[in-house]
Amino acid sequence: MVEGRPVVVSESNMPEARELSIGRAVIFRSADGSPFNRPRPGVTISRVPEAVFYPRFVEPRLAEALADSPAVLIHGPRQCGKTTLAGVSHASSNYPYVSFDDDVPRGAAAADPAGFVADLPERVVLDEVQRAPAIFAAMKLAIDRRRAPGRFLLTGSSQVLLVPALADSLAGRLETLRLHPLAQSELERRPPDFLDALFGDGFAFERRERLGKQLAERIVAGGYPAALARPPGRRRAKWYHDYLDALVQRDVRGLARIGALEALPRLLALAAAQTARLFNVSDLAAPFQLSRPTIRDYVALLERVFLLERLPPWHTNRLSRLVKTPKLHVADTGLAAALLGADTATLAADRPLLGQLLETFVFQELRRQASWHEAPTAFFHFRDKDGVEVDLVIERGVGMIAGIEVKAGATVKASDFRGLRKLAGAAGARFAGGVILYDGETSASFGDRLHAVPISRLWAGP
């Protein structure tokens, strides 16, 4: 296999094509040589035990979007499964596929955008579309001439909507879907109901087994499919480091001219150490000979490629003296653990680090679950200048508010609900409920709309 070229997997070479490197295109071909996106009669792919397919619960939303929108964009980090979703979704499994990671179609699109779009099939998947912004205006004209649903299925590995040409050209013609790395509920192949319970009837009394060491294993593993295909430990951590190197060299370099490109992995490692803490640009800038505005710009760039996320503060006119600084979260705890050199033994020995990564783990799990819910969902944090805080404030639908506190311990006391009670008072009738998620065994009520709930309830269901 030659570095940089597509890996062609056929019936004859499947056993030799088990490990595919970062950034390599994978083409599956049947016995007659034709490419396929899913198993077809006479082709068995179960002979590659590492190829594990997980359900993506956003797929019904993709089908709905393709049924009534001329263009649909799936955006999210590289290697999270966008191309796989576009290929195996029932609504788009027969779409021809063009990747702008390939120099030839990218060059053709840049040289003659109108001609390139005119020559495309009636329906098509355009992968990594942020690398060919010249075609956006031509796509607009094509859609305006024939506004048929499902014409263009786009994928992007950066915040494509920040590209002015796309935002201006496809406004009103494009529906966007955010795809994250795998949620724990997808790994369990079980649709969750946690958010519905949180904003609905609450949580009934029940007992379940404590996660213990398994919780740390889930945190360290993360949710990237290719990383999960590797054995835990050194090989999986190596994948995350190679992933970051490839992302910096390919996507970040293409998005902005950066004089200190080598600083980005170090900056991301520092951000991983600060995950679930208030965003402090001075602390991030301290090890570098770079200005604070430059570091702030670098953080924004890492957000644009879905590696970091700032969680805004929740505020209300009912309370004063609120902290208005966002929190910083790494987008996947597997990547954070690899950057910090942390494994399950590290987390067992370092309780503060376990608490940080667990808070990020819960936030990202809920973000992933919210991505396929119909009701609009927004996430915040709450903290006042007296130190009273709530890790996650979730606003859903027409302004209903819920709060989540995260504890790594196995016990919960009434005093642990101090922040949630203050949030309930500030939200008033809008308060749907508050939960302390902890590594315990029992779901129990602690008063009006307040519950202690085992963390496994996030994905395991009632």
Does the pLDDT of residue 136 top 80, yes or no?
Answer: yes
For residue 43, tell me if it sits in a domain. no
Residues 50-54 have a mean pLDDT of 65
Same domain (yes/no): 152, 267? no
Range with the poorest average pLDDT among 158-167, 388-397, 426-435: 158-167
Same domain (yes/no): 200, 345? yes
pLDDT at 49: 33
Same domain (yes/no): 120, 241? no
Same domain (yes/no): 154, 262? no
- Residue-wise pLDDT tens digits, 283-315: 999 888 888 988 898 898 899 889 999 999 998
For residue 46, tell me if it sits in a domain. no
Domain that holds residue 163: 52-178
- Residue-wise pLDDT tens digits, 148-172: 999 999 999 887 666 666 666 777 8
For residue 103, tell me if it sits in a domain. yes
pLDDT at 189: 94
Same domain (yes/no): 362, 382? yes
For residue 45, tell me if it sits in a domain. no
DSSP SS3 for 99 = strand
For residue 66, tell me if it sits in a domain. yes
pLDDT at 88: 81
CA atoms within 13 A on the CB side of 213: 4
Residues 242-253 have a mean pLDDT of 83
Same domain (yes/no): 305, 356? yes
Same domain (yes/no): 260, 407? yes
Q: Which residues of 322-345 are buried (b: 16+ CB within 10 A; e: fewer)?
A: bbeeebbbbbbbbbbbbbbebbbe
- 256 band by pLDDT with thresholds 50, 70 and 90: low
For residue 44, tell me if it sits in a domain. no
Phi and psi angles of residue 281, each rounded to the nearest 5 degrees, phi first: -70, -30
pLDDT at 24: 35
Of 178, 212, 237, the position where a domain reaches its end is: 178
Contact 128, 103 (CB under 8 A): no
pLDDT at 164: 62
Of 144, 178, 212, the position where a domain reaches its end is: 178
Please tell me the distance from the alpha carbon of residue 130 to that of residue 443, in angstroms, as a whole number.
45
Residues 377-399 have a mean pLDDT of 93
Do the strands 308-311 and 327-330 form a parallel or antiparallel pair, or are they unpaired?
antiparallel
Mean pLDDT of the chain: 85
- Residue-wise pLDDT tens digits, 3-47: 333 333 333 333 333 333 333 333 333 333 333 333 333 322 223
Residue 50 identity (one-letter amino acid) = E
Same domain (yes/no): 163, 312? no
H/E element, 382: strand 377-383
CA atoms within 13 A on the CB side of 171: 7
CATH of the domain at 151: 3.40.50.300
Does the pLDDT of residue 116 top 60, yes or no?
Answer: yes
pLDDT at 315: 83
Does the pLDDT of residue 430 top 60, yes or no?
Answer: yes
Calculate the CA 191 to chain-centre distance: 17
Same domain (yes/no): 134, 215? no
Same domain (yes/no): 13, 79? no
Does the pLDDT of residue 415 top 70, yes or no?
Answer: yes
Same domain (yes/no): 268, 402? yes
DSSP SS3 for 195 = helix
Name the nearest CA neighbour of 334 among 76, 80, 19.
80
Does the pLDDT of residue 1 top 70, yes or no?
Answer: no
pLDDT at 166: 65
Same domain (yes/no): 214, 342? yes
For residue 42, tell me if it sits in a domain. no
Residues 98-125 have a mean pLDDT of 94
pLDDT at 258: 65
Of 158, 178, 198, the position where a domain reaches its end is: 178
- 72 band by pLDDT with thresholds 50, 70 and 90: very high
For residue 288, tell me if it sits in a domain. yes
What is the domain count for the chain?
A: 3
